[in-house]
Chain A
Amino acid sequence: DTVLTQSPALAVSPGERVTISCRASESVSTLMHWYQQKPGQQPKLLIYKASNLASGVPARFSGSGSGTDFTFTIDPVEADDIATYYCHQSWNSPDTFGAGTKLELK
C-alpha cells in the first residue's frame, strides 16, 4: 500500500502562514486530496487533485505538488482552523490516508 507521511503536529499563531507536508512512498500523480477534521466532527474536503479548492472553502487554503511531494498551506491561519489535517491518495489501490497533522495554537 502507498504510505503517506505527514508531520504529526504543528504549533501556529493566528495570522501566520502554515505549511503541512505529505510525502508518498510512490508516485500518486496529482491524485492527492486534503481534509480537515475538528474534534467530534466528520472530515471535510478542502483540496482535491492536489490544488483544487473544494466548493465553499476559503481561498486561505491552498495545495500544491505532484508525484511524491505535496504541500497544504493556510495563509493566514485563523483560530477556527485548529484541527487535524489529513492527506489522501487515490492514484494507487487501495486508497490510503496520512496519519494526520494536528494544528495547535502557540
Chain B
Amino acid sequence: EVQLVESGGGLVQPGRSLKLSCAASGFTFSDYYMAWVRQAPTKGLEWVASISYDGGSTYYRDSVKGRFTISRDNAKSSLYLQMDSLRSEDTATYYCTTTSLQFDYWGQGVMVTVSS
C-alpha cells in the first residue's frame, strides 16, 4: 500500500524558514517524479513544485521561485520542501504527491501557518 506521510509543519513568523519532509513507502520511490501541492484554508488546490526521479530537474511555480527548494533522498525514500522567506500567502496545507502527468497518490497533508 502506498503511504506518504508529511511532517515539519507549524506556525512560523513571516520571513522565517521551515522545512517539510515526506516519508514514502509501499512503492519504489526512485521510479516516480514527486511534487508538493498546497491548499490554503477553505480554498482550492495549487501546484507548488515538482522534482524528477533522481532530483536532477526541479520545477516551481513563479510565486515560490527563489524562496522554496524541493529535494529528495532516494536512499531514504524521502521528499523535502525547504521554504525560506515565508509570507502570509504561503499559509496552507501542503500535500506530498506522486506525479506522472496526474497526481496519483497523496499524503494526508501538513499545515503551515505564516503569521506574526
Give chain A's interface residues, CB within 8 Å of chain B: 31, 33, 35, 41-45, 48-49, 54, 86, 88, 90, 93-100
Contacts and interface: CB of A to CB of B under 8 A. Distances in A.
Interface of B: 44-47, 59, 61-62, 95, 101-109
Nearest to A94: B61
Contacts of A95: 47
B46 A97 contact: yes
B101 A96 contact: no
Contact of B95 (A31, A42, A100): A42
A14 B62 CA distance: 42
B109 A45 contact: no
A91 B97 CA distance: 18
Nearest to B103: A45
Contact of B44 (A31, A45, A90, A99): A99
A96 B45 CA distance: 8
Shortest Cβ-Cβ A-B pairs, 5 listed? A33-B102, A42-B106, A48-B102, A95-B47, A97-B45
Looking at A35, A42, A94, the one whose CB has the most chain B CB atoms below 10 A away is A42
A95 B61 CA distance: 9
B107 A88 contact: no
Contact of B107 (A42, A94, A98): A42
A94 to B, nearest CB: 5
Looking at B47, B103, B107, the one whose CB has the most chain A CB atoms below 10 A away is B103
Contacts of A41: 108
